[in-house]
Chains A and B, each alone.
With several copies, the nearest count.
Chain A
Amino acid sequence: MFKLITAAEAAALIKPNNRLAIGGFLAVGAPESIIDAIVAAGIKDLHMIVIASDWEDRGVGKLVANRCISSAQVSHLGTNKEIQNQMNSGEIKIELVPQGTLMERVRAFGTGLGGVLTPTGLGTVVEEGKQIINVDGKDYILETAIPSDFALVKAWKADKDGNLVYRKTAHNSNPIMAMAGRITIAEVDEIVETGELDPEEIVTPGVFVNYIVVNKEV
């Protein structure tokens, strides 16, 4: 059962060197309040696991611009000059991961798998240093689970049992990241009574959710 906390309290749980799996894509579905609180708390040397590095002033890009991040596993940097600069200067260490592979590696950690075999990246730099395994005559790259200490996600609504639903393309990586944190913190727009969400429409069961932050109290 989750505990209701503020964004500042969420940030206070996070320590330098923690690994954060953060939901969202190009800042849609990003847990902006928690991100702002991390920036405000001045936490440094974090590792982030994200699809994209967003913009300098939106989404996880704010963590980069404020130098909270020392390393990242990410698939797309194109919208954020700052992360490219920090990468080129050596301030931030980047592992580029194909987007589908990133999702499977995060899901693997959340669901207790050690990794998956994927054809994505065969014959490219992505396969370098990795084990190639042949199954039924086809080669695959062994891609290992990506562990995270915290999953920070943005959902649309939670109920009082911590069940989450997402809105439109703000789903993106959030339901996957939500499974994957040793501690999962969900930022939501509102908390509704238990029973108000249709059991068939719940995307993330409350079992995955440890803390909830409401980002706008009406």
Chain B
Amino acid sequence: MAIDKRAQIGARIAKELKHGDYVNLGIGLPTEAANHIPEGVRVIFQSENGVMGVGPAPEEGAEDHEMINAGGGFITTLPGASFFDSATSFGIIRGGHIDVTVLGALQVDQEGNLANWMIPGKLTPGMGGAMDLVTGAKKVIVAMEHCDKRGNPKILKQCNLPLTAKGKVSLIITEMAVLEVTPNGLLLKEVTEGFTVEDVVKATEAELIIPEGLA
């Protein structure tokens, strides 16, 4: 994805994070959010392998080989950080103590179902911590490109890949739009400048609720 698209999505995710929130950012695109937290807003980042208070990546040459995040990337920690075992880490997650988790998706649907860990016969990275994160976090945000590499919709009426969790996604942020999962279906909340409502509808298989007055 182009750097400006990534930055745009990252900035939009960051707007969902409130001062004092405990947040888990998935590998890849979601981590972009950490670069867009406004000054004066303090968000505490967890990595599910067992650390709270993750800071920015270390400078080259300053890596500590026993300081990594759940994606295997080198990290630093901020004052107030703590290390703990993975059972405690998932106790925090599954116990509902994480305010927001942001993950990528292969597919997401209008009922808030998420598929992001397996393409049968093709790809089996495993679910890792994703199932626990999506099940346990207070708010689940999916951040991804609106369509796949071939231009096919990833926001569907119904996921057909193996699910990560059922009905747990509450918000979808893409380079084109922001969509909210509501009991009545997917609500189109925002359309990114440069796109039209029609663009979004065309790139989305799921039915969209389009509020009056949305540009």
B80 and A160 form a contact (CB under 8 A):
yes
Judge if B83 is at the interface, Cβ distance under 8 Å: yes
B97 and A208 form a contact (CB under 8 A):
yes
**Which of A37-45, A60-68, A121-129 lines the interface with chain B?**
A121-129
Judge if A100 is at the interface, Cβ distance under 8 Å: yes
Known contacts A112-B96, A168-B67; A104/B87 CB under 8 A: yes
B49 and A25 form a contact (CB under 8 A):
yes
A207 and B126 form a contact (CB under 8 A):
no
B162 and A125 form a contact (CB under 8 A):
yes
Give bound CA distance, A218 to B83, whole Å.
Answer: 27
Q: Mark A172-211, 1 if CB is under 8 A from B, else 0.
A: 1111100100000000000000110001101101111000
Q: Mark B37-76, 1 if CB is under 8 A from A, else 0.
A: 0000010101111111100000000001111111010010
A179 and B95 form a contact (CB under 8 A):
yes
Q: Which of A54-101 contact B (CB under 8 A)?
A: 74-79, 84, 87, 96, 98-101
A205 and B66 form a contact (CB under 8 A):
no
How many chain-A residues does the 8 Å CB contact rule pick out?
A: 63
Give bound CA distance, A203 to B52, whole Å.
Answer: 12
Q: Which of B83, B130, B165 has the most CB of A within 10 A?
A: B83
For B42, the chain A residues whose CB sits under 8 A away are 1
Please pick, from B19, B81, B128, the residue contacting A199 in the complex, using a CB distance under 8 A. B81
| Chain B, Cβ-Cβ closest to A162 | B80
B124 and A169 form a contact (CB under 8 A):
no
Please pick, from B67, B92, B96, the residue contacting A169 in the complex, using a CB distance under 8 A. B67
Judge if B101 is at the interface, Cβ distance under 8 Å: no
Judge if A4 is at the interface, Cβ distance under 8 Å: no
Give A contacts to B, CB under 8 Å.
Answer: 1, 25-26, 28-29, 51-52, 74-79, 84, 87, 96, 98-101, 103-104, 107, 109-113, 118-126, 159-161, 163, 166-176, 179, 194-195, 199-200, 202-203, 205-208
Give B contacts to A, CB under 8 Å.
Answer: 19-20, 22, 42, 44, 46-53, 64-70, 72, 75, 77, 79-87, 90-98, 113, 124-132, 135-136, 162-167
Q: List 19 A-B contacts (CB under 8 A).
A: A76-B127, A77-B125, A101-B131, A104-B87, A120-B94, A120-B135, A124-B164, A124-B165, A161-B53, A161-B79, A169-B49, A169-B67, A169-B83, A171-B83, A179-B91, A200-B82, A207-B46, A208-B92, A208-B97
The 4 closest A-B pairs by CB, nearest first: A100-B90, A123-B166, A78-B125, A111-B91
